[in-house]
Structure 1
Amino acid sequence: MAHEIHLKNNKYRQWVKAGLGLGYLKEGLAPFCDDIGRQQHNDIINKIQQTKTPQPNVPCGTCQITTLQPDHVRVSKGICPLNQDKCNCCFPNNKRPCPNNVCGAIYDSIIQYHASIPPVPFWKNSDVQQWSTEPWEVCKCFINAPGYKDKTSAVDTDCTGLLHVIINNNYFHSHIGCNVAGPNNLFSKVRQYRNEIFHSSNMELEESKANCYIDDMIAVLQDGKDLLHRQDAQQAVRKLQDLKKKDFIITTVDFDEILGQINEEMKKVLYSVDDAATKEEYDDLKKKFIEFKTKMSEEKEGEKLENEKELSELKKTIMELESQMVQEKKEKLEMEIEHADLKKKFTVLETLVSEQKEVKQLNDVCHTCICIFALKKIKIIC
């Protein structure tokens, strides 16, 4: 069972709660993103199989993004008909068509589904060789930020990445009630919260601000189109609502969760362009990671001292019981030895009496000895 942690600084407590909220938001969004991503992938593959001549040979594991020739052809030099900047169609000299007749079509579909104008898929996050078989490799092209190449599923992806997929992918928009493409939409607002939380100057938040963050996370998961009717999303909503309760308990497991999130943020910064601003950002995150880990260690040390005190008292009690058992065992052994000795003596006397019972005087002497022996030892054990 995870130990409860008492945080005296309320602003720090609110910061921890906001960080936990991001984790719960991810829990609510991941199954939804996984399901819709698979639906999109199935639709793309089915469409390719129905429209391509010759029929594509799925799967394909040979293409590279730098050398893949799209299915579409440039309008003129440097002009892409799909309005993508620096599209592969604009540099055809070293490009080759997919030998399985599928990857070029998927490339086109990703551009067509991208919601930004002009479309800007982030190809570096994805492995082209898995496009034909792994839906999440296609979804990652809609995460317009580095650091997600090693994420193999929605569950592996943080809430920022999941929100990127929802916001930048038109296929997802048909499953969202609010206008995701509109300015200052709720999903885009919540996407910024991770930066505001983990890149703040200190690890503190006003309670009103933390609750505002959590309320918007709840609103995302209660979007009226699909999410409101998903059990996993509404379970996450209940967890977010519990965060706002005054008696909410923060545990060492929660500390580990926040540490993991900060560590993930540090990894993403390392994937970014290596400039002064990025280095400063990374150093700041590393400092927060160390400070937070220290706080957690201090909390755990406090629990450790309390537990050690209880353990010491328990050991003392056990030692007393063991000592008492040893003493009782010793006394029992002594009694058994004394019993055996008395029984032996009694048997000898009984034999003498039996042999000389004709001689009344001797019998009287033996009887007297037995009585004296009995009085001396208190009792004879037969």
Structure 2
Amino acid sequence: MSDLEDPLYKNWVRSALSLKYLKHGIHSFVDRIAKQHHKDLLFGYRKDTGCAAKSCCECTSENLLPDHPRNGCIQKFRSKCFCNNTGGRRKCPNHFCSRFYDLIVRAHDERNPIWANTDPARWFGDHWATSQCFLGTTGYSDKHTAVETDASGLLSIILNNIELRSHLDCPDNVSKARDIRNEIMHSTSFEVDDEKLCWYVDQMILVLQDKKELINEEAAKNAVVNLTKLKRNQIYISEEDVSEMRRGALSAAQDGIKHIEKKTDEVMHRIEVKRKQVHEDIDAHFAKKMREQDKQMDDKNIQTVDESDVDNEAVELTAEEKGKRVEQI
């Protein structure tokens, strides 16, 4: 009995295949906007510096130091910023990569780029090397074009890149599509019922028919046609399709582990920041209390001294009065 004879499993394969159609419908759109965004960043560099950007092939992820100072880090997590550990790092000798690094950070929706996928030496001449900074996870360093990038990567770039998001009428649909992708590719049962399959496909069609621009993209229109056929079970599923989807699921599982590790690092970082803040608040509280107690003690000592002076004056006055009485007698 072929696995495809199991309707739930076949629906899972169709669900995974729908991601392939989604990718085909959006990759040219993402590439076009990413290319324009790269030009805008280069223009921003010229606007900030007054000089045209220069090509650089000397900077790497290991030796580049950002333009911003360490004590003024602009990245969400300084522990992930190149400024965190300055050993062996220096500013770009061509005065480009360091400042372009900062421009990328500021163009990220959460100011949290992932640098493992990119190569700074390619930033000047390759728009996709810049786009790789907006991916949501590692594992894409060998994907040098939009065509090579899967649906998950393209959706992450759209959501994380402020400029790309601005070309959408409803970014929430993209967020839902990304969640659907994770649900499909991280499935442990490899089973999807008819109702869920239809919902998956409908959500992807919403992305492709986004009213702002995508709805007019020819590739998006073709993808909608294929998704509609897929939903109606009008597309033949081959064993080759099955193998491809299974390989994709295995790769996604590995990416999922990396994503969990990434989230764990972020949570641990937040816990550490909170712990330090709590300790600082406690120290500040006790320091304030000690200052208040010291002030109270000082005030009490002053009062004691004043009362002692009054008592001495009273004693002196009494002695003087006694002297006068003796003289009178």
TM-score when normalising by structure 2: 0.72
The answer for the alignment partner of 2:140 in structure 1 is 148
* Contiguous gaps of at least 5 residues in structure 2: 265-329
- Tell me how far 1:229 sits from its aligned partner: 0.7
Q: Equivalents in 1 of 2:73, 2:211: separation in Å?
A: 37
Q: Does 1:99 align with 2:93?
A: yes
Q: Equivalents in 1 of 2:193, 2:63: separation in Å?
A: 51
CA RMSD after TM alignment = 2.6
37 and 17 in structure 1: CA distance in 2 versus 1, 3 angstrom threshold: same
Q: Equivalents in 2 of 1:221, 1:247: separation in Å?
A: 20
Q: Equivalents in 2 of 1:7, 1:236: separation in Å?
A: 23
Q: Does 1:18 align with 2:15?
A: yes
- Tell me how far 1:51 sits from its aligned partner: 3.6
The answer for the alignment partner of 2:67 in structure 1 is 71
- Tell me how far 1:192 sits from its aligned partner: 1.6
User: Which structure would you say has the larger Rg?
Assistant: 1
Matched residue type, 1:107:
Y
The answer for the alignment partner of 2:168 in structure 1 is 176
Q: Does 1:129 align with 2:121?
A: yes
What does the per-residue CA deviation read over 1:217-264, in whole Å, with 9 as the maximum and x for residues that have no partner? 110111111111100111111110101114442223422431342353
Q: Equivalents in 2 of 1:163, 1:220: separation in Å?
A: 10
Q: Equivalents in 2 of 1:152, 1:229: separation in Å?
A: 26
Q: Is the 8 A contact 1:124 1:146 kept in 2?
A: yes
- Tell me how far 1:93 sits from its aligned partner: 5.7
The answer for the alignment partner of 1:325 in structure 2 is none
Q: Equivalents in 2 of 1:249, 1:56: separation in Å?
A: 51
Greater shift after overlay, 123-132 or 92-101?
A: 92-101
Between the aligned residues of both structures, percent identity stands at 34
- Tell me how far 1:211 sits from its aligned partner: 0.8
The answer for the alignment partner of 1:40 in structure 2 is 37
Q: Does 1:215 align with 2:208?
A: no
1:238 equivalent among 219, 225, 234: 225
- Tell me how far 1:202 sits from its aligned partner: 1.1
The answer for the alignment partner of 1:309 in structure 2 is none
The answer for the alignment partner of 2:249 in structure 1 is 262
What does the per-residue CA deviation read over 1:291-349, in whole Å, with 9 as the maximum and x for residues that have no partner? xxxxxxxxxxxxxxxxxxxxxxxxxxxxxxxxxxxxxxxxxxxxxxxxxxxxxxxxxxx
TM-score when normalising by structure 1: 0.63
Runs of 4+, deviation exceeding 6 Å: 272-275
* Contiguous gaps of at least 5 residues in structure 1: 278-382
Matched residue type, 1:42:
K
| Secondary structure, counterpart of 1:124 in structure 2 | coil
Q: Equivalents in 1 of 2:188, 2:248: separation in Å?
A: 17
- Tell me how far 1:41 sits from its aligned partner: 0.7
Q: Is the 8 A contact 1:147 1:272 kept in 2?
A: no
- Tell me how far 1:105 sits from its aligned partner: 1.9
Q: Equivalents in 1 of 2:243, 2:187: separation in Å?
A: 19
254 and 81 in structure 1: CA distance in 2 versus 1, 3 angstrom threshold: closer
Q: Across the two proteins, how many residue pairs are aligned to each other?
A: 261
- Tell me how far 1:271 sits from its aligned partner: 5.7
The answer for the alignment partner of 1:110 in structure 2 is 104
Q: Equivalents in 1 of 2:16, 2:138: separation in Å?
A: 21
